[in-house]
Chain A
Amino acid sequence: AQSVTQLGSHVSVSEGALVLLRCNYSSSVPPYLFWYVQYPNQGLQLLLKYTSAATLVKGINGFEAEFKKSETSFHLTKPSAHMSDAAEYFCAVSDPGGGNKLTFGTGTQLKVEL
């Protein structure tokens, strides 16, 4: 069974600082990996996805993630945090058995301070 682990349920950064949100996956087959963002009182929106085409994936709002097979990681980064980045971020892995089922991590709440 696929699974993802997000280290750190809360991360706090200063505006302009580097954002690093960690995600490690467990999968018996090459995974498809996703990062979603959830703003308060809203549903989740797709930030980016890895589908084996390239190991460095660029997403919306300046975010990117690098797939590292040797470390089974898919960490999310942004060079310079903005106040509007404050949200909850979820890493997810898809089930290659089909049906587009996603297994989500427990989420990381990002706080951006002045």
Chain B
Amino acid sequence: NAGVTQTPKFQVLKTGQSMTLQCAQDMNHEYMSWYRQDPGMGLRLIHYSVGAGITDQGEVPNGYNVSRSTTEDFPLRLLSAAPSQTSVYFCASSYSTEYNSPLHFGNGTRLTVT
């Protein structure tokens, strides 16, 4: 079991460029989500999905798109990168959408926008 796999580990973008952060899980988890981690701010929810074909916005969705065409994959798209999107991004999944179901995290993608 690989768990939650995120690629790439590191990425540098120029302002205005677009890219996709990949997230895949092999645990047949129903729920998947994206967080960003910034110093002194903890983790903030960007988007989440409660199943294939269903996505919704979290606390900080602006500038990001997601889709969930399969149970396994939940890519995060940056449409036009901005320096404010410099952050560490974590994908997390859980086996159910029950609110006591613990999250399993990937190892993160460190993104720098210049």
Interface residues of A, Cβ cutoff 8 Å to B: 9, 32, 34, 36, 41-46, 49, 51, 90, 94-96, 98-107
A102–B45 contact, CB under 8 A? yes
How many whole Å from B48's CB to the nearest CB in chain A? 6
Tell me which residues across on chain B come within 8 A of A106, comparing CB atoms.
40-42
A107–B56 contact, CB under 8 A? no
B106–A96 contact, CB under 8 A? no
In the complex the two chains form, what is the Cα distance from A5 to B110 in whole Å? 26
Interface residues of B, Cβ cutoff 8 Å to A: 4, 31, 33, 35, 40-45, 48, 50, 56, 58, 90, 92, 94, 96-103, 105-108
In the complex the two chains form, what is the Cα distance from A45 to B90 in whole Å? 12
A94–B99 contact, CB under 8 A? yes
Contact with A46, one of B98, B99, B102 (Cβ below 8 angstroms): B102
A99–B100 contact, CB under 8 A? no
How many whole Å from A80's CB to the nearest CB in chain B? 26
In the complex the two chains form, what is the Cα distance from A15 to B11 in whole Å? 37
A49–B102 contact, CB under 8 A? yes
